[in-house]
Amino acid sequence: MREFVLRTSALAHKEALHMLRDRQVIFLALGMPLVLVLLFGYAVSFDVEEVEVAVVDHDMTHASRSFLARVDASDAFRITAYPASAEGAEALFRRSHLKAMFVVPRGFQRALDREEPADVQLIIDGADGTTARVIEAYASALALFTTADLISSVPTSTPLFEPRIRMWFNPRMASAVFVVPGLVAVVLAIITVLLSGLTVAREWERGSMEQLFATPVGRLSIILGKVAPYVGLGFLQFLLILVAGAYLFDIPLRGSFPTLVLAVFLFLVAALGQGVFISMATKSQQLAVQIGAITSILPSLLISGFLFPIANMPLPLRIVSRLVPARYFIACLRGVLLQGRGLSTLWPQILGLAALGIGIIAITTRRFRRRLD
């Protein structure tokens, strides 16, 4: 046992020296998270702001003008065109930046005055589905509030109720607040799988595995020694993304930090184990990078709940997602950072991570043949 600890720590120390002497690794490990946070934080946005819209006012009354003024005044829309009719909407969408068109029909004010439903037609460019859905939601909300205001401006009527929607955990519905916590998992998955994938393959390619195998060191020592320094590096990356997220996108930390640290640790072990496993099976740095990239990026991006809710996936994908460590990790990240949760409610996710981490290390150790052929 003493010898096991001695050898494992010697391997970890040696691995840390490799890491610190390789500028590329340091750059990749610390530069890439920042680049990805900036890229995803700013680019992956479901926010819709200042969408250019056209308006057609067939009513030309105080009420219609008042409604359209509110459309223009809202953060979501900016009126840039006033066509005479809705006839050319299709052509307009095709050759301009216009994404939607409001058409106020004749008799808008009259209907309001009678407190009857007054229709406003909204034509949306559906080519970009995500944006279209957001425009629809904004427009309905706008119509709801404006109608209430317009009616209440008429002294005889009193609104029956006024909707006050509060979005918890992310009051401004900022995409970054939603994306960045998940991004921690994606970034850590990609970088740790790639780096650990390189390290074992490098020993094969450089021939040092032959010398290592001639010593009494055991399989588990080799694997744990490889993984340990990268757990440290992973923590550094995690803190870096967290701090960058807090400064750039106001990502909060509302819940239990120790729970999050535990989740990070378990996730890193699972991701590193995956990398070592790939590296062991391929014995080539180039192949390890390719397989590592595919098996880390795709699952953590697509079936982890990062971008798409797992509940909406078909059953087979839901089952596969249970084997993706990022799934549990993202749940922990959002739970702790945004929802203020702790171990008392997140323990199933922590258990899932622990099971995957121990499982992959066990499989890797078993499959690791301690010889050259």
Partner 1 sequence: MIGGSPSPTPSPPSLRATIIEAVGLERRFGDVPALASLSLGVQSGEIYGLVGPDGAGKTTALRILAGVIAATDGHALIQGRDPLTGASKVRASIGYMPQQYSLYGDLTIDENLRFFARMFCLKKAEYEARRAKLLDITRLQRFTDRRAEALSGGMYKKLALACALLHRPAALILDEPTNGVDPISRRELWALLFRFAQEGMAILVSTAYMDEAARCHRVGLLHRGRLLLEGRPADLTAALDNPVYSVVFDPTNTGFNDTLMRHRAIVTASLAQSEFRIVVECGAEAEVTRFLADGGATWTRVAPNLEELFLVREHEASRSTPRTQPTGGREA
Nearer to partner 1, 48 or 217 (CB): 217
The letter for the amino acid at 52 is: E
192 near 273, Cβ under 8 Å? Answer: no
The letter for the amino acid at 246 is: A
Shortest spacing between CB 244 and partner 1, in angstroms: 30
**How far is C-alpha 323 from the geometric centre of its chain's CA atoms?**
18
How many C-beta neighbours within 10 Å does residue 54 have?
Answer: 22
Tokens of 369: 């043949």
Nearer to partner 1, 1 or 167 (CB): 1
Nearer to partner 1, 211 or 345 (CB): 211
Nearer to partner 1, 4 or 82 (CB): 4
Nearer to partner 1, 13 or 254 (CB): 13
N-terminal to C-terminal alpha carbon distance within the chain: 28
Shortest spacing between CB 19 and partner 1, in angstroms: 10
Shortest spacing between CB 358 and partner 1, in angstroms: 25
237 near 187, Cβ under 8 Å? Answer: yes
Shortest spacing between CB 324 and partner 1, in angstroms: 34
E strand map for the chain: 51-57, 77-81, 100-104, 121-124
Q: What is the Cα–Cα distance from 272 to 170, expressed in whole angstroms?
A: 32
Query: Footprint of partner 1 on this chain (CB under 8 A)?
Result: 3, 6-7, 10, 13-14, 17-18, 21-22, 206-218, 371-373
User: Could you tell me which of 230, 198, 223 has the C-alpha nearest to residue 362?
Assistant: 223
Nearer to partner 1, 323 or 372 (CB): 372
Shortest spacing between CB 195 and partner 1, in angstroms: 15
Identify any residues that bridge with 277 across adjacent strands, giving them in sequence order: none
Nearer to partner 1, 5 or 73 (CB): 5
Shortest spacing between CB 289 and partner 1, in angstroms: 19
Q: What is the Cα–Cα distance from 353 to 321, expressed in whole angstroms?
A: 12
Nearer to partner 1, 10 or 60 (CB): 10
Shortest spacing between CB 330 and partner 1, in angstroms: 36
Shortest spacing between CB 169 and partner 1, in angstroms: 47
Q: What is the Cα–Cα distance from 103 to 93, expressed in whole angstroms?
A: 15
> Can you spell out the DSSP letters for 218-274?
-HHHHHHHHHHHHHHHHHHHHHHHHHHHHHHH-----S-HHHHHHHHHHHHHHHHHH
Count CA atoms closer than 13 A to 192's CA, side-chain side.
34
